[in-house]
A and B are shown apart, each in its own frame.
Chain A
Amino acid sequence: MVESLLFLMILGAVCGLLLSFASKIFYVYEDPRIAKVEGLLAGANCGGCGFAGCSAAAQAIVNGEAPANACILVGPENVSEIAVLMGSEAGAAEPLKSYNNCDGGKRASDRFIYSGLNSCSAVTSLYGGKRDCSIGCLGFGDCVRACGFDAIHLGSNGYPVVEKEKCVGCGACETACPKSILEVRTVSQRLLHLNAIDDALAPCAQTCPAEIDIPRYIGHIRNGEYEEAVNTIREKNPLLLACGRVCPHPCENFCRRGIEDEPVSINQLKRFVADMEMNSGKRLPIECGPDTGKRIAVIGGGPAGLSCAYFLRRAGHHPEIFEAMPKLGGMLRYGIPEYRLPKKVLDWEIDGILNLGIKNHTNVRLGVDFDFGSLIASGFDAVFFSVGAWNDYNLGIPGEDLDGCFTGINFLAKIGNDEKVRLGRRVAVIGGGNTAIDCCRTLLRKGVDKVYLVYRRTRKEMPANEVEIVASEHEGIEFVFLAAPNRVVGNDDKQVTGLEYLKMELGEPDKSGRRSPVPVKGSETILDVDMIITAIGQSPLLDFRGKGDRLDGLSITRWNTFDVEPATCQTNVPYIFAAGDSATGPALVVDAIGGGRKAARSIDLFLKGKPVIPQPKAILNKHIPGTIFESVDGVVQKKRTEMPELPVAQRIHTLDEVDLVIAEDQARYEANRCLSCCRLCYNQDKG
């Protein structure tokens, strides 16, 4: 009895002593703050912070590898306590949210029989999860089971839907998904992501210069979720009202339904939801990332400038717009006539962007009202140029300086600015592009008797949008094709009295495949007009250069545009970026919007001190090989919704908007025509 007691006491003492000595000898210094920080973390070991468990996270926070707010679960009180422990200030982290990239869940089971398996990882590990598409959602809901917060469920289409309010961004679904369909990203990470070659992109989404996720918003419209549709468009395009009206929708040219049937009227659908938001009288909230305190000067408040400012603001930066004209909008306001894009619609849209907290200064022209040096001195971290292409080309023929000669953009800007312009009775507009057509149709509405459009090639070669050409034909504009202006005829008062042109005939096809016009000798003809508008193209106006400041070092191309790296929009001066017409030459509004976003991505990288490099695998509006089909099976012909427009008799006397919005049932019908394509798969029509 005694000896057993003695033995156990001795054994205990020896073990205790040994251990205490050992703890002394083998003591590893551990920052006492680690234990304290760990006490303040959630203790859930969820891994949402990206570290293996809370103790690892605590260690990372103390070692300065993670911010005080790394833990996604604890409230602001704990975060600020941790921050106090670490002696730093707590900034709110931008929350991570799960996002589903693939809309094709239901199609998986249609195409393969998985012998009764019911989990995505099972299907993937046994069969490689193979379908027609190697990247798509399998739709068995492993992510739903993985989510510890009940934030994911399988939607009516059979693919996962994330409830943003419940999602904490822990990343469990991203880990569980064997196909990388679910991604956990911050909003700004997603906004500034450029379309990449391994993304789930339908042909239309690959084509869209603004990279809008088109099948997704059409899907929202189909389900009647109009607000969601607006939000989806706004992730890539802040000017949906304007684009819904003026975009020549290159996306529709690659619509898969268009191969067998008429393409889906994508732009009409965009306009439908955009108008619905405007007419509802309330603006949908747009979330912005936490403030970064960085300031960016945006020179030029056109579509590229507005787009760049919008995306920078949503990423938490503070852009300020400097605009030379009296109002923001650039070519949208001064180049596009009222009957295509009403000013009050544009105002509403621009107000929505400025409401995010973007400062703007109008009537200030760089190089005249302020100079570049003072801009940099006032503490901007980066400068974005989106000055557009406002310099009209001249014909270079005699008599161009006579009274009654105008240039295209100049003329449209004057009209847009409500300036008095002395109009003629009979007008010749020279050029075959959209600017020329806009001039013609505006003149007609201003009460001009006769409008001629003089173009040196034929209708087939006209670069203007087909719909615009058709509309102007309806409105009674007379086309004079194969005519090269030779000189402007004037009277003694230096007034225009006519336009002399040479008749042309098409010669042999040149290198670009277009048959170039050759003048016919002795065919001089005089067109009896008293006003001439030249709209044969524009280039950027860069006369703020040459003032002896940093801007003189900027390299400029031979087309007088900013010489930028196309994938990043960065110029040779690292903190100067440029996009829109001033970097690309005259292009579409939607190109400028896409350019503004691309530049915003680079500026964001630049401001965070990261290298400004092109996004790997970005497709930059090229098509992913193998995704553009020759033929499409299972398409039943369904008539495309016609665009409603004002009758000709009614519209040519006013500046009222010509194109009208489609009705809700038409929108639902049109949305149902969409095949919901992904890269390779699509939903076949039933029956």
Chain B
Amino acid sequence: MGYFELIIACIFVNNILLAQFLGNCPFLGTSKKMETAIGMAMAVIFVLVVAGTITWVIYTYILVKFGLVYLRTMAFIVVIASLVQFVEMFLKKSIPALYAGLGIFLPLITTNCAVMGVCVLNIDKEFTFLQSLVASFFYAAGFGLALILFAGLRERILLARVPKPLQDTSIALVTAGMISLAFFAFQGMV
């Protein structure tokens, strides 16, 4: 598979949110306002690229080598959690501007299943290092795309007349389902 197809697959066909349904909590939680949605998208891109590559290295050079593949989930959780903490400390000291920009979203990602999911997918699909780097970035970009699209829609939904039982989260889930259906049109492209 060429990189172009990989990119298209990551962003659209296998969109982490709308096709694989991973990371739904931030999808619903941070999509009420465009501003927070953008912040979250940036933080996810940043963390996923770092986490995707590091976990690939750990899997390939440690777990496989010592025959401990069955410990993958546990190892990844520990690594991602520590990584996010580490990155937060690093940013606070070295790039305070970026730290302030990402703000509260950085620690939130520790428990984001999209991050874990991408790391696992990278392994399952037997990507090379470069491929997993590209895939991590574009999965995250796909996440950002879906989140920002959705935030834009929700801002409009706020202004619409929604029947009482469907207001707020209900209508958001219905909408998410419809966008998801729309994304299914990309199915089979690659």
Interface residues of A (CB under 8 A from B): 3-4, 7-8, 11-12, 15, 18-19, 22-23, 25-28, 116-119, 121-122, 125-126
Contacts and interface: CB of A to CB of B under 8 A. Distances in A.
Contacts of A116: 161
B159 A19 contact: no
Closest 7 CB pairs of A and B: A122-B159, A26-B93, A15-B82, A26-B89, A22-B89, A22-B86, A116-B161
A272 B125 CA distance: 86
Nearest to B94: A26
Contact of A18 (B71, B82, B94, B160): B82
B82 A19 contact: yes
Contacts of B94: 26
A4 B70 CA distance: 9
B34 interface: no
Given A4-B71, A116-B161, A27 B93 contact: yes
B66 A3 contact: yes
B74 interface: yes
B56 to A, nearest CB: 16
Interface residues of B, number: 22
Contact of A3 (B68, B74, B160): B68
B79 interface: yes
B123 interface: no
A22 B90 contact: yes
7 contacts: A8-B71, A11-B75, A11-B79, A19-B89, A26-B93, A122-B158, A122-B159
Interface string B22-61: 0000000000000000000000000000000000000000
Nearest to B85: A19
A15 B94 CA distance: 20
A111 B90 CA distance: 58
A125 B158 CA distance: 11
A119 B94 CA distance: 44
Contacts of A26: 89-90, 92-94
Contact of A28 (B75, B85, B92): B92
Contacts of A15: 78-79, 82
Contacts of B67: 3
A11 B66 CA distance: 13
A653 B127 CA distance: 111
Contact of A7 (B68, B85, B90, B159): B68
Contacts of B85: 19, 22
A22 B94 CA distance: 12
A116 B71 CA distance: 57
Interface of B: 62, 66-68, 70-71, 74-75, 78-79, 82, 85-86, 89-90, 92-94, 158-161
Nearest to B103: A52
Nearest to B70: A4
A121 B159 contact: yes
A117 B158 CA distance: 10
A11 B159 contact: no
Nearest to B104: A53
Contacts of A23: 89
A503 to B, nearest CB: 77
A25 B67 CA distance: 34
B85 to A, nearest CB: 6
A119 B158 contact: yes
B149 to A, nearest CB: 18
Contacts of A125: 159
Contacts of B79: 11, 15
A119 B157 CA distance: 12
Nearest to B62: A7
A25 B89 CA distance: 9
Contacts of B62: 7
B93 A7 contact: no
Contacts of A117: 159, 161
Contact of B78 (A11, A121, A122): A11
B62 to A, nearest CB: 8
B158 A7 contact: no
Given A26-B89, A28-B93, 12 more contacts: A4-B71, A7-B66, A7-B71, A8-B78, A11-B78, A15-B79, A19-B89, A22-B90, A119-B159, A122-B158, A122-B159, A122-B160
Contacts of A27: 93
Nearest to B83: A15
Contacts of B161: 116-118
B89 A8 contact: no
A18 B82 CA distance: 9
Contacts of B92: 26, 28
Contacts of A7: 62, 66, 68, 71, 75
A11 to B, nearest CB: 6
A26 B94 CA distance: 8
B181 to A, nearest CB: 27
Contacts of A118: 161
B72 to A, nearest CB: 11
Contacts of B78: 8, 11-12, 15
A8 B75 CA distance: 7
A125 B68 CA distance: 57
Contacts of A25: 93
A559 B67 CA distance: 103
A23 B79 CA distance: 16
A284 to B, nearest CB: 42
A525 B94 CA distance: 99
Contacts of B93: 25-28
B158 to A, nearest CB: 7
Nearest to B58: A11
Given A26-B92, A26-B93, A19 B86 contact: yes
Nearest to B87: A22
Nearest to A117: B159
Contacts of B90: 22, 26
B31 to A, nearest CB: 17
A7 B70 CA distance: 12
B50 to A, nearest CB: 14
Contacts of A3: 66-68
Contacts of B70: 4
A8 B62 CA distance: 12
B55 to A, nearest CB: 12
Contacts of A19: 82, 85-86, 89
Contacts of B89: 19, 22-23, 26
A18 B74 CA distance: 18
Contacts of A28: 92-93
